[in-house]
Amino acid sequence: MRILFAAATLALLAQPALALDVRESARIAAPIGKVWEQVAAFCAIANWHPAVEGCTLRQGGAVERELALKGGGAIEERLLASSDQKHRLRYTLLTGPLPVADYVSTIRLSAVDANTTRVVWSSHFKAKGASDAEARKAIAGIYTAGFDGLRKSLTGQPPSH
């Protein structure tokens, strides 16, 4: 019986970590073209995300950015795809202090009407150095802070909670 239990425990431990998904959305009181102008340029996140102090763009074989974080630290990301027609930006995390691995994220915009845009920020990743719940909470917090920053940047209005 002990051998069976030990084998079952080892089998569970050998299982790969399951991928997690986070999806947050917000409405921004601005036309889709105006919101896309803020999001489309890969380093533009430094202009609207409250956690980002600066951004350095690197273009070699791939487009990459290094985000300097307020309070210290840095995140490096690689652009995977960008579509002006679909209003979609897809990127992956290369290095940084976030509690995730194999992180791929998409920011997608859609017009609600002529003056309102829906922004969906989603990702797929594995938790790393944190519980699944902690990793999800950290990523969701980044997205909602980003929405607040976009609203402030585009409308001059403080975030609505």
pLDDT tens profile 39-63: 999 999 999 999 999 999 998 889 9
Say whether pLDDT at 137 is over 80.
yes
Which position has the higher pLDDT, 123 or 1? 123
* Nearest CA among 39, 22, 31, 40 for reference residue 140: 22
How far apart CA 117 and CA 27 sit, in angstroms, is 6
pTM for the model: 0.85
How far apart CA 119 and CA 108 sit, in angstroms, is 6
Say whether pLDDT at 8 is over 60.
no
DSSP 129: S
